[in-house]
Structure 1
């Protein structure tokens, strides 16, 4: 039985925990690797499903691995830069979409129904947007720690896979700024249409990203400080959720640009922080494609999506479930009376 995770007291507290993250259960991963060649199929004939099953076993700490109780968790936050015209939608859409999630009317609701995924939705101070990061830091340390704890302290008892996602008008602007601050380049490299902007609105978004990075990158101490300065509450909560899953032995499926930008802030502090994560998909947002390449992540799916809401992660759940079923359920050559390779 897992124990509740102690809330963070500060960013230094998180830095210390990131330096002491648990690794996979090597015995379970080895057991999966040993079983694989005995199954009634040619070697490597199931492609990426085979190492995926080994990976799940190691991070769940059990063999055979199972995937029966996945959860999707969507965090919602509002951004001060949304008032500067960086999105095709007004800031109040964040609140309206949270209501839509709760009524069951959003895309993620349908994907969760289709694949039997439990769904949680958490809104984070929607009546109190972050500060506009092109003018000042988005959050104080107290605010970012509170948002991190919203994800870190989520109970994961009985959950065997976690899909994280977000809702927040303006948050692709934040993701672009974080990506640029972490990996360099110019604002145009990372800033894309997001919810569908073009022309002067896209130019405004590029300016906000450029100005924000120019203001904060020279002063930032590490990825967590960048998350405070350029991020949003939902980004911080998802970062906390990634750490919670690691401490609870729950594999994570990463979603799109915003989540990966938050995850990159953890990776910048601890290079192994995302070893328990797999990338569900790569979106059509240009910044996401550039970011996952820099992070060394290979997507399970390429579906030309750009919705957020954990939708790409949820769509990848059947692939992980298939990996578990094939690994655990296929007969061995001996059990099936089938001649093995000569």
Structure 2
């Protein structure tokens, strides 16, 4: 099991990232060139299949063990009126997840993913980031390790989601800290804020950046000061997945904001990730642009919970089904693109 003993161990884990299996990548690419279709005719499905093969280390990847994990946490900054919903909704939604009544329950069932829910000290909100760090060093490490512990080594595709009233505010602060810009560039209406609420949110993000910005010299410290327990847990899970060579589908704005500090410390961090979708939350498209990731879907979703990734998982399954299930030209006794030219060359 991946575990970070202290901030230095977390930093070392982030600095030393494994690469995909080059031989498996090449074998999968070669197989794509032999399947009974014009090369490239399945577009991104071909790229996805090769991507999955490289990270799983096999020419024919699988997506039978898809796992989704939702992390839940509460935020001190929610007391500043930055969400249209009260903090107790976090606890209530965790109960709804466990009762299988939420969108993510339906969507993970549809894509065949196992779903786990990990609540993180819901009776103990993080510090209000406008006037103090979100977490102590110990709390941040505990959250990172809770995320890492949720990733099983036999997982063939992972996606993580979150639940935490007010968490688009720390997400916006993380994005602004890493990529710059004003608070207004990164905030959105989240759960449905009115104009006054949006102004409060912008003020909260600006205050947090003013207080903590000069101290955010590492990914750990940025997450500790500006993040939240569920945000750090998602970061820990995706870092653990990298070391286990588990490919990852990234969900929406908050999930991607959790990755931003790690990418700032190691620009190769997201190589094992696909962007599942681009959400309707204002800052998500900007984050994906900074990440250099092209989302698989754009459906106007803004729910969180890993819901966009659950829908995109079906695209990954389709890519793998085509890659593994199609016949090659030789198997189907179908002439390949250069068959006539090869025959003429042989006769000559």
- The structural deviation recorded for 1:11 is 1.5
Structure ID, larger Rg: 2
Q: Does 1:76 align with 2:65?
A: no
Task: Please point out which of 283, 286, 298 is paired with 1:287.
Answer: 283
How many equivalent residue pairs?
Answer: 338
Q: Does 1:323 align with 2:323?
A: no
Structure 1: gaps (5+ residues): none
**Structure that is richer in helix per residue:** 2
- The structural deviation recorded for 1:223 is 2.6
- The structural deviation recorded for 1:155 is 4.4
Q: Does 1:91 align with 2:87?
A: yes
- The structural deviation recorded for 1:222 is 2.1
Q: Cα deviations across residues 237-286 of structure 1 (Å, max 9, x unaligned)?
A: 00010011112221100000111001111111111111111010010011
3-state SS of the aligned residue for 1:128? coil
Task: Please point out which of 317, 325, 333 is paired with 1:337.
Answer: 333
Task: Please point out which of 268, 274, 279 is paired with 2:270.
Answer: 274
Q: 1:234, 1:219 → 2: CA distance?
A: 21
Native 8 Å contact 1:78 1:128 kept in 2? yes
- The structural deviation recorded for 1:33 is 0.7
Choose 103-112 or 290-299, whichever is displaced more. Answer: 290-299
Q: 2:235, 2:7 → 1: CA distance?
A: 12
Native 8 Å contact 2:151 2:241 kept in 1? no
Q: Does 1:164 align with 2:160?
A: yes
Structure 2: gaps (5+ residues): 339-348
1:10 aligns to what? 6
TM-score normalised according to structure 2 size: 0.96
Q: 2:155, 2:219 → 1: CA distance?
A: 28
Native 8 Å contact 1:224 1:269 kept in 2? no
Q: In the TM superposition, what are the counterparts of 1:182-261 in structure 2 within 5 Å? A: 182-261=178-257
2:109 aligns to what? 113
Q: 1:11, 1:298 → 2: CA distance?
A: 31
Task: Please point out which of 51, 54, 60 is paired with 2:56.
Answer: 60
- The structural deviation recorded for 1:330 is 0.6
After superposition, the CA RMSD in angstroms is: 0.9
